[in-house]
Chain A
Amino acid sequence: MNASILAIVFVPLLAAIVAGLGGRMIGHTAAKALTTGGLFLAAALSWPIFISFIGGSAEATVVPVLKWVQSGALTFDWALRVDALTAVMLVVITTVSALVHLYSWGYMEEDPDQSRFFAYLSLFTFAMLMLVTADNLVQMFFGWEGVGLASYLLIGFWYKKPTANAAAIKAFVVNRVGDLGFMLGIFGIFMVFQTTSIPEILEAAPAMAGSTIGFMGMRIDTLTIICLLLFIGAMGKSAQLGLHTWLPDAMEGPTPVSALIHAATMVTAGVFMVCRLSPLFETSATAMAVVTVVGAATCFFAATIGTTQWDIKRVIAYSTCSQLGYMFFAAGVGAYGPAMFHLFTHAFFKALLFLGAGSVIHAMHHEQDMRYYGGLRKHIPITFWAMLLGTLAITGLGVYHLGVGFAGFWSKDAILEVAWAAGTTTSVTAFWLGTFAALLTSFYSWRLMFLTFWGKPRWIESEHIQHSVHKTPQEAGEDTTGGYHPHESPISMLIPLGVLSIGAVVAGQVFHDPFLQESEFWNGAIAFNAELMVAMTEVPYLVKYAALIVMVIGFIAAWYAYIRKPSVPKETAKQLGPIYHFVLNKWYFDELYNFLFIKPAFWFGRVFWKRGDEATIDRFGPNGAAWLVGQGSGLAKKVQSGYLNSYALIMLLGVVAAVTWVLF
């Protein structure tokens, strides 16, 4: 297993280096083949590891790689740790990444910088694998920042677009706010535990219960403050409420990037971190409550915004944000199995939805506004069916008594049930928020489907289509297609859609046992609360059917508003007035942060520079001294000759004189 672990992690790195630095030399095709081949190899090596963990035949393994830092008691090395939790992440990352690489052959076909794009994708995959195989918190931080770099590069891949550049910087800087928490968390952990090794921390954590440490002048429960600091890091990476603003903007990147990084893998790193450190989080009820509340709030908040957005990718982005909220509140109530299960199924159906959306965008000449779609069902049927399966998966269609359902049914229902079963005030609140968010999820997902694939074509109103057909809406007249013919995507894009569709349908059905039940699978990789998992199965039927009921309501509402009576949305928006605008404008977070942080930063920068450095320090410092000298005696004027050589000479003479005076 050791050799295959090393290969899984480092083959993508090597491919990235060769494709990135040598792309010009070896050509686009070779670069693409190398990176894609590397990822398929990694995926092929990952699945057997995952299967062997499910079968209970594999044990946690650590492969040491290289010494990293040794500074007093603070030591950490490069090492790859694989246990059940990592194995789950390995298959998710390598599978989705391999498919996204393949998909990009078609999607990026005309881009002049293809090899750079593929190099970044592989670099990202390497960093993500380093993150999930980390044996100590610092290596996890390495992966954490590495994926941040790759995300920055890929969001800004089309670097001529000012919006893409702004989004890239925003993603990096907002993530750094989270990283501030992560770093302080690591420092606190080192101070308390004298180690950054994850297994050692988890082992020592319970003994620290009841102790306090100082933090910014206060004394706070040790484990609570550590967990909260780390969780701030998780919030940044996983775009939770407050630090979520970068994720929707990140949609400026090419769509395969959104599927891989901003849906299936990187944004789930926060959830992974909480699960990885679950025994630590279990020691602090306060921290767990915070995780639950933040997760539930995000889940609800992002879903509300999802119902009002017009950009197809932004709808899915807010959906991702919302689904991450589910994972967090599951973790917060102590149900790490369901959290990881949802992470696993979500990776398939959300990557599917994004790649499907990419296929739609590809067909629609880069138009992303759903207002200009409509009636695409018959033109791009394969994409339509893939998106339909993805939608059924995310909305969670399934029937408890029949024991059948799409992927999202198994994992989302498990989360809602476990929140109910946990029975605390926060967890039950999370249940209600989560259920309401499921209603909204169903509504915005079907809204997306109806606007895109049903109804009459509204294509000619799109500027992109106008450019393509060289017509204005007036010239097109009655024909709202403008004579445009959307084409189904090439085979390289359809294969990933097909594979992910299978995942979206069966991933829940096949894998729910190992994830949710006490078995040999987890085997200590997460804190597994067996009682809670049993209680989960014994909740009232109404709870078990809650998700299905709200899913149907959401479906009917969307059908009524967008198929049956298309005038409804506008009227409702008018009636709701301020609330609608509040949600449409994303709760005004961007405006608020701009006002609170961005503008003041530049304003203070200018003040400190002009008023501070120039008008105060220089004026009374060197310039003041010059003025004094200028006003002084004739001797001083001679000294102030302006010739550097004479300064230097005087200085040297002075030194010699002083030395002589003292020593003789």
Chain B
Amino acid sequence: MGGFPILSTMILVPLIGAIICLFLEAKAARSVALVITLINLALGIVLWLNYDIGGAQWQFAERADLFAGFQYALGIDGIALMLIMLSVFLMPICIGASWEAIKTRVGEYMAAFLLMETLMIGTFAAQDIFLFYIFFEAGLIPMYLIIGIWGGDNRIYASYKFFLYTLLGSVLMLIAMFWMVNVAGTSSIAALMQYDFAPEAQTWLWLAFFASFAVKMPMWPVHTWLPDAHVQAPTAGSVILAGVLLKLGGYGFIRFSLPMFPEASAQFAWLVFALSMIAVVVTSLIALVQHDMKKLIAYSSVAHMAIVTVGLFSFNVQGLEGSMIVMLSHGLVSGALFLCVGVIYDRLHTREIDRYGGLSINMPAYATLFLLFTMASIGLPGTSGFVGEFLSLAGIYQVSSTVAFVCTTGIILGAGYMLYLYRRVAFGEQKNADAAAMPDLTMREYALLTPIAAVVLWMGIYPESFLAPMRADIAALDARLARAAPAGDAMISFGEPVVDEAVIEEAPTTPDAAVEEAQ
């Protein structure tokens, strides 16, 4: 790539586009937004093609010193690369999904989306902890606006809830960041990832970050903003919320909590497991009884994100890689499911499941694609959903068979609520005349859904394309976590069936000893 600042370009292009869009009338704003997002997608592909797998950990680095040690530093590893790809891939689809649905203040709407793209890429590319924070928190502002201005009837309540939850977390995280920078003497994320904080400090630092990331994930019981936000957001807002914003929490865990506070992460793994197990069972059951399509998918997202958190805190390669794939897959699949809801919402203006039925008859192409995404959501092998889920659960099994068992029940419950949804929407008699009169997919809608379908199958059949760039980074993280990795309860032992002591002895060093060694 030479010295071409591609990351800055990718951040800057949508920003410029956003400013232009503000001054354009509806039709032009749509076209400009689409062109801008496609340019960024092209840049993203260039980025991926030029990413040197197995090369330096941080690539495409850029750096400029600003005031008082605060740096404009960018750079990506494989993990960030994949999440940037997810963002730039979904963005043109979001613009396309808003093409006809958004009729008021189109220029501002497109500007908000483009601004969000800038901020998301910035979040994943930031190499300075404060730069990260600014992108991370500011990324939510366009989202508030999208929900609050272009949302449904109850949009103010939803955006208020969204705001309140995220605010709570981020204040604590900011304080923790100041403390860390003071102690470690650097605000570089790469350096902080290698820095060993004292175990006592790690405990509260971990909790401060956890408050923010748990809300973003979202984990039970701080998930209740998500269903409301999804229900009120316009289709494209839901896509980007599920597709990228929910990944910020997982990215935070993998970038900050785990490498910076390994001991505390091990110490609090039980908390993460407990909340995740509750989430899998409880939110799946809640999804089963929903009448609103978007709410159902929103609750299913909480259950899927719980698989991400257990995978992350399993402290092994399978769990970490699985979590990343679940995040990518969920971004695509739940984004696609929200698009599917949008397709029929645009026709009938209701999300009430019972208002539909028998769509296989009048919308066969729609029903086929919807089925594919339903199957990907419930983790059918051959789709992206399976690879991630399987690896995460395989990872967690090595730590705790009980957690693995509870989380694996998600495959039963997931099949239950998704197939129940599909049955009520696509199968059965056409009991509503207006739903029966809906036309099948338009070319525009094909263009939105088929690329996602293709990637979902690609990731399911040949996930190596996505795993390979992350492999070295995950391995490095795994190596860093090794000193704190908990011994599994399921580990094999020979001889007489006994004894927990034997297992504990086999465990790596205890957290304290490891820190002493490090010092």
Query: Are A647 and B68 neighbours in the complex by a CB distance under 8 Å?
Result: no
Query: Are A184 and B427 neighbours in the complex by a CB distance under 8 Å?
Result: no
The answer, among A191, A208, A606, for a CB contact under 8 Å with B397, is A191
The answer, among B227, B318, B490, for a CB contact under 8 Å with A215, is B490
Chain A residues whose C-beta falls within 8 Å of the C-beta of B138 in the assembled complex: 652
B380 in the interface, Cβ–Cβ < 8 Å? yes
CB contact under 8 A between A214 and B467, given known A71-B322, A165-B423: no
Give Cα distance in the complex from A211 to B498, angstroms.
Answer: 10
Give Cα distance in the complex from A609 to B292, angstroms.
Answer: 13
A residues 64-98 near B (Cβ < 8 Å) are 66-74, 78
Cβ proximity bits B413-457 to A, threshold 8 Å, 1 near / 0 not: 101100110010011110000000000000000000000000000
CB contact under 8 A between A66 and B289, given known A71-B391, A217-B489, A608-B282: no
Min CB distance A616 to B, Å, is: 8
The answer, among B159, B375, B402, B498, for a CB contact under 8 Å with A219, is B498
Q: Residue of B at shortest CB range from A625? A: B164
Query: Are A605 and B137 neighbours in the complex by a CB distance under 8 Å?
Result: no
Q: Name B's interface SS.
A: helix
Query: Are A618 and B467 neighbours in the complex by a CB distance under 8 Å?
Result: no
Of the 9-residue stretches A171-179, A327-335, A429-437, A508-516, which lies at the interface with chain B?
A: A171-179
Give Cα distance in the complex from A663 to B68, angstroms.
Answer: 6
Cβ proximity bits B145-170 to A, threshold 8 Å, 1 near / 0 not: 10011000000100111011101000
CB contact under 8 A between A180 and B429, given known A72-B318, A72-B321: no
A644 in the interface, Cβ–Cβ < 8 Å? yes
The answer, among B358, B375, B490, for a CB contact under 8 Å with A188, is B490
Query: Are B224 and A618 neighbours in the complex by a CB distance under 8 Å?
Result: yes
Chain B residues whose C-beta falls within 8 Å of the C-beta of A68 in the assembled complex: 461-464
Query: Are B401 and A622 neighbours in the complex by a CB distance under 8 Å?
Result: no
Query: Are A187 and B69 neighbours in the complex by a CB distance under 8 Å?
Result: no
CB contact under 8 A between A156 and B285, given known A69-B467, A141-B381: no
CB contact under 8 A between A214 and B318, given known A165-B428, A613-B286, A652-B141: no
CB contact under 8 A between A149 and B317, given known A172-B419, A655-B133: no
The answer, among A605, A625, A648, A651, for a CB contact under 8 Å with B288, is A605
The answer, among A180, A190, A647, for a CB contact under 8 Å with B144, is A647
Q: Residue of A at shortest CB range from B149? A: A644
Q: Residue of B at shortest CB range from A112? A: B361
Query: Are B174 and A642 neighbours in the complex by a CB distance under 8 Å?
Result: no
A584 in the interface, Cβ–Cβ < 8 Å? no
Chain B residues whose C-beta falls within 8 Å of the C-beta of A601 in the assembled complex: 285, 288, 413, 416
Give Cα distance in the complex from A444 to B210, angstroms.
Answer: 64
Q: Residue of A at shortest CB range from B147? A: A644
B130 in the interface, Cβ–Cβ < 8 Å? yes
CB contact under 8 A between A622 and B160, given known A69-B387, A149-B375: yes
Cβ proximity bits A580-619 to B, threshold 8 Å, 1 near / 0 not: 0000000000000000000001101110110011000110
B67 in the interface, Cβ–Cβ < 8 Å? yes
Cβ proximity bits A285-298 to B, threshold 8 Å, 1 near / 0 not: 00000000000000
Report, nearest first, the 8 A-B pairs whose CB atoms are least far apart.
A72-B317, A187-B397, A605-B289, A142-B381, A605-B285, A159-B427, A644-B148, A663-B68
CB contact under 8 A between A216 and B402, given known A156-B427, A222-B492: yes
Give Cα distance in the complex from A82 to B438, angstroms.
Answer: 49
Min CB distance A609 to B, Å, is: 4
Chain A residues whose C-beta falls within 8 Å of the C-beta of B489 in the assembled complex: 214, 217
The answer, among B386, B461, B490, for a CB contact under 8 Å with A214, is B490
Query: Are B462 and A651 neighbours in the complex by a CB distance under 8 Å?
Result: no
Query: Are A655 and B286 neighbours in the complex by a CB distance under 8 Å?
Result: no
Query: Are B420 and A651 neighbours in the complex by a CB distance under 8 Å?
Result: no
CB contact under 8 A between A612 and B141, given known A179-B411, A186-B394, A214-B490: no
Query: Are B492 and A191 neighbours in the complex by a CB distance under 8 Å?
Result: yes
Chain B residues whose C-beta falls within 8 Å of the C-beta of A626 in the assembled complex: 160, 164
Give Cα distance in the complex from A21 to B470, angstroms.
Answer: 35
Chain B residues whose C-beta falls within 8 Å of the C-beta of A651 in the assembled complex: 137, 141, 167
Cβ proximity bits B59-98 to A, threshold 8 Å, 1 near / 0 not: 0000000011110000000000000000000000000000
A422 in the interface, Cβ–Cβ < 8 Å? no
CB contact under 8 A between A184 and B145, given known A210-B495, A625-B164, A658-B174: no
Can you list 23 A-B contacts with CB-CB less than 8 angstroms, sorted by A residue number? A69-B463, A69-B467, A71-B391, A71-B467, A72-B317, A74-B317, A156-B427, A165-B423, A168-B423, A169-B416, A169-B420, A176-B411, A176-B412, A211-B493, A212-B494, A213-B401, A213-B491, A215-B490, A621-B224, A622-B165, A626-B160, A644-B163, A663-B67
Query: Are B318 and A183 neighbours in the complex by a CB distance under 8 Å?
Result: no
A138 in the interface, Cβ–Cβ < 8 Å? yes
Chain B residues whose C-beta falls within 8 Å of the C-beta of A211 in the assembled complex: 492-495
Query: Are B286 and A609 neighbours in the complex by a CB distance under 8 Å?
Result: yes
Chain A residues whose C-beta falls within 8 Å of the C-beta of B405 in the assembled complex: 180, 184, 216
CB contact under 8 A between A180 and B412, given known A66-B462, A216-B402, A217-B402: yes
Cβ proximity bits A634-664 to B, threshold 8 Å, 1 near / 0 not: 0000000010110110011001001100111
Chain A residues whose C-beta falls within 8 Å of the C-beta of B69 in the assembled complex: 663
Q: How many residues of B contact A (CB 8 A)?
A: 97
A146 in the interface, Cβ–Cβ < 8 Å? yes
Chain A residues whose C-beta falls within 8 Å of the C-beta of B285 in the assembled complex: 601, 604-605, 608
Chain A residues whose C-beta falls within 8 Å of the C-beta of B181 in the assembled complex: 662
Give Cα distance in the complex from A66 to B464, angstroms.
Answer: 10
The answer, among B178, B316, B393, B471, for a CB contact under 8 Å with A187, is B393
B5 in the interface, Cβ–Cβ < 8 Å? no
A192 in the interface, Cβ–Cβ < 8 Å? yes
B251 in the interface, Cβ–Cβ < 8 Å? no
Give Cα distance in the complex from A69 to B470, angstroms.
Answer: 13
B54 in the interface, Cβ–Cβ < 8 Å? no
A565 in the interface, Cβ–Cβ < 8 Å? no
The answer, among A66, A71, A149, A214, for a CB contact under 8 Å with B321, is A71
The answer, among A71, A165, A173, A187, for a CB contact under 8 Å with B416, is A173
B185 in the interface, Cβ–Cβ < 8 Å? no
Chain B residues whose C-beta falls within 8 Å of the C-beta of A621 in the assembled complex: 165, 221-222, 224
Which residue among A142, A179, A644 has the maximum number of chain B CB atoms within 10 Å of its CB?
A644
Query: Are B408 and A184 neighbours in the complex by a CB distance under 8 Å?
Result: yes
Min CB distance A127 to B, Å, is: 9
Query: Are B497 and A212 neighbours in the complex by a CB distance under 8 Å?
Result: yes
A221 in the interface, Cβ–Cβ < 8 Å? yes
A577 in the interface, Cβ–Cβ < 8 Å? no
B residues 282-332 near A (Cβ < 8 Å) are 282-283, 285-290, 316-318, 321-322
A145 in the interface, Cβ–Cβ < 8 Å? yes
B225 in the interface, Cβ–Cβ < 8 Å? yes
Query: Are B380 and A71 neighbours in the complex by a CB distance under 8 Å?
Result: no
A403 in the interface, Cβ–Cβ < 8 Å? no
Which residue among B174, B397, B462, B490 has the maximum number of chain A CB atoms within 10 Å of its CB?
B490
